[in-house]
Structure 1
Amino acid sequence: MPLENKLGLTNAVELALEEERISKTRAAEMFENGLLESLRPGSFEALRKIHEYLFSDIYDFAGQIRTVNLAKGNFRFAPVMYLRQAIQEIEKMPQDTYDHIIEKYVEMNIAHPFREGNGRSTRLWLDLILKNELGLVVDWSKVDKSDYLMAMERSPVKDLEIKALLKEALTDRIYDRQVYMKGLDASYKYEGYEAYKTDDLSRENELEEDLER
């Protein structure tokens, strides 16, 4: 069954398509309007605002800490009972080196603070930290889906694999529109969303706004 949503959709396929279309458009807006630059890198508030901006048109729980326990396969994410405490501890983690930043990212993934949309939001959050601290971002279009998913699955036990994988894809083109847009497409593809191209949605949105003026 699909999650309860503001769109009133009860078909899972239809919901997935609309979720991709709407949230990708919102993700593109965050680049165009400079919202990402206004957030404090590494803070949970930054992650919360990213999630809220992406999904507020779709879910009532956008930007809200989940109230249900989540699992993926045999792995259980942080229990609701300890989730807020876990988030506070993650916020305190250092982010002064590449290794520290990825360790913080891995821990936030383990926390999985939202009901849905954690991966997509947290990858944007990771890039915000890397950009601020190191002047780099991940070019996600260069990170293979299966390699990424396997590395993340193993990261709670051993994070060397995800560190090496993402390090190979780092770029200093931190304000490059195409790096960002193609990166979003790759990020969404990891979660099975690949019906739309972010750049196309962004341009369609710009045309609609011009017509409304």
Structure 2
Amino acid sequence: MVDKYGTGQDPYCYPGTTVLRNQLGLTDDDALNEAERALSEIAASEIDFAPPPYDLPALQRIHRQLFGDLYDWAGELRTLDISKGGTHFCNVTRVEPEAKKIFAVLAGANWLEGLERGVLVAAAAEHFGDLNMIHPFRDGNGRAQRILFEHLIVNAGYEISWWPVGEGEWLQANVDAVVCDYGALIRIFERCIGQPIGE
């Protein structure tokens, strides 16, 4: 089975549609997207900063907080392979082991603490791109991952804001990172990571 961007019936969607099953009973993509955006923005504002260690369960908690009012599967690892456009995300059987590798590297790098800003920008961008390829959830991966990276970067001592980035730019930068071309993500992180906190 593949997701709504592929072919076949996605068990996460209402039969014969590409609309994700949801607790509000919405059967229109536009209405669901609007509700999802509104509810996740409210939920995001209520998520408190969390220091490391960070791991897949931490990302799952963030996802559950963001989307728990909308999807029964919020915070649960996906149960099918998914793709979007020409990008095939991590095979479902490899989600947990591959995520563990990425978080182990971050832990080994002391969660990027103490890095000069330019080094932090490049490292954060690369890890973001690699984790995006895991795509552990059926939907909402980017939003959950950005909150996790906000915590990571604030913990490293820097301000962070995603507002300077448009959706199309985000998507293309992550597509580029599939083939380990992190240039666009680095440019995004260069704009989004601010000054050291307290300066």
One of 34, 58, 70 as aligned partner of 2:82? 70
**How do 1:114-193 residues align onto structure 2 when only pairs under 5 Å count?**
114-133=137-156, 135-157=157-179, 158-172=181-195
Alignment correspondent of 1:185: none
The whole-number CA distance in structure 1 between the counterparts of 2:38 and 2:29 is: 14
Q: How many residues align?
A: 169
Deviation of 1:39 (Å): 5.1
Q: CA RMSD in A?
A: 2.0
The whole-number CA distance in structure 1 between the counterparts of 2:54 and 2:136 is: 14
The whole-number CA distance in structure 1 between the counterparts of 2:33 and 2:196 is: 31
Q: Is the 8 A contact 2:56 2:96 kept in 1?
A: no
Alignment correspondent of 2:70: 58
Q: Which runs of 5+ in 2 are unaligned?
A: 1-16
Alignment correspondent of 2:11: none
The whole-number CA distance in structure 2 between the counterparts of 1:174 and 1:46 is: 23
The whole-number CA distance in structure 2 between the counterparts of 1:3 and 1:148 is: 22
Deviation of 1:146 (Å): 3.2
The whole-number CA distance in structure 1 between the counterparts of 2:80 and 2:104 is: 24
One of 7, 11, 14 as aligned partner of 2:31? 14
Deviation of 1:172 (Å): 3.3
The whole-number CA distance in structure 2 between the counterparts of 1:123 and 1:138 is: 10
Q: Is the 8 A contact 2:67 2:74 kept in 1?
A: yes
The whole-number CA distance in structure 2 between the counterparts of 1:8 and 1:173 is: 44
The whole-number CA distance in structure 2 between the counterparts of 1:142 and 1:41 is: 28
Deviation of 1:23 (Å): 1.4
Residue 185 of structure 2 aligns with an amino acid whose one-letter code is I
Q: Is the 8 A contact 2:23 2:69 kept in 1?
A: yes
One of 126, 131, 149 as aligned partner of 1:108? 131
Alignment correspondent of 2:6: none
Q: TM-score, normalization: structure 1?
A: 0.72
The whole-number CA distance in structure 2 between the counterparts of 1:146 and 1:60 is: 28
Residue 79 of structure 2 aligns with an amino acid whose one-letter code is T
Deviation string, structure 1 residues 86-143 (Cα, Å, up to 9, x no partner)? 111111113424133322211110000001100111111111111112x124321222
Alignment correspondent of 2:4: none
Q: TM-score, normalization: structure 2?
A: 0.77
Deviation of 1:174 (Å): 6.0
The whole-number CA distance in structure 1 between the counterparts of 2:167 and 2:79 is: 29
One of 90, 98, 101 as aligned partner of 2:102? 90
Alignment correspondent of 2:20: 3
Residue 115 of structure 1 aligns with an amino acid whose one-letter code is R
Q: Is the 8 A contact 2:76 2:137 kept in 1?
A: yes
- Structure 2 CA distance for partners of 1:10 and 1:145, relative to 1, 3 Å: closer
The whole-number CA distance in structure 2 between the counterparts of 1:106 and 1:53 is: 23
Q: Is the 8 A contact 2:124 2:189 kept in 1?
A: no
Query: Which one has the bigger helix percentage?
Result: 1
- Structure 2 CA distance for partners of 1:146 and 1:132, relative to 1, 3 Å: same
Deviation of 1:162 (Å): 0.9
